[in-house]
Chain A
Amino acid sequence: DAGITQSPRHKVTETGTPVTLRCHQTENHRYMYWYRQDPGHGLRLIHYSYGVKDTDKGEVSDGYSVSRSKTEDFLLTLESATSSQTSVYFCAISAGVNYGYTFGSGTRLTVV
């Protein structure tokens, strides 16, 4: 998707290991979001950022942390991966509170 890149696209990791997913944008947008997508649950907000070093929790933040040291990068870390964190993770960006989201292509994470 134009202006937003997620890496890696796929990852398999073992239970108990730390994992970091990266979201990179070239749009200079202020707002960035991490969602997870699971069947039957739609998209659920994990964490979001409203500026460099300004982050807050979403509805399913337990077991996750985030960091945003630069406008363009928003990192999602699973401190100690569990099987319940197997999911597809999407990053989204927005120019402002009155604008829609642009989503990345997602990261499929499997915790074994």
Chain B
Amino acid sequence: EVVLTQSPPTLSSSPREGATLSCRASQSVSAYIAWYQQKPNQPPRLLIYDASTRATGIPARFSGSGSGTDFTLTINSLEPGDFALYYCQQYGNWPPTFGGGTKLEI
């Protein structure tokens, strides 16, 4: 199965700054990458799919890019509610797998 490695494990930033989160796949997954945000005691929330398509209701501050094995989630102008855990998921190979997560902290 495809292993997704997210980096860094923890990222420190501040409100109004930007953040760049990375996800690397152990083999090509084309553009079949999704990004999720998870806050404590909540389920994951879909942010991005197909590497760069924002899910319904997701603000334009969130953007995704990449293809093949290297992917990036960029969050511009961080808001307090953005400080959370972020996971990437691949669905280009079976079974779908998730990365270990990046904690975005203040």
Do A and B interact with each other, yes or no? no
User: Which B positions have Cβ atoms within 8 angstroms of A?
Assistant: none
User: Which A positions have Cβ atoms within 8 angstroms of B?
Assistant: none
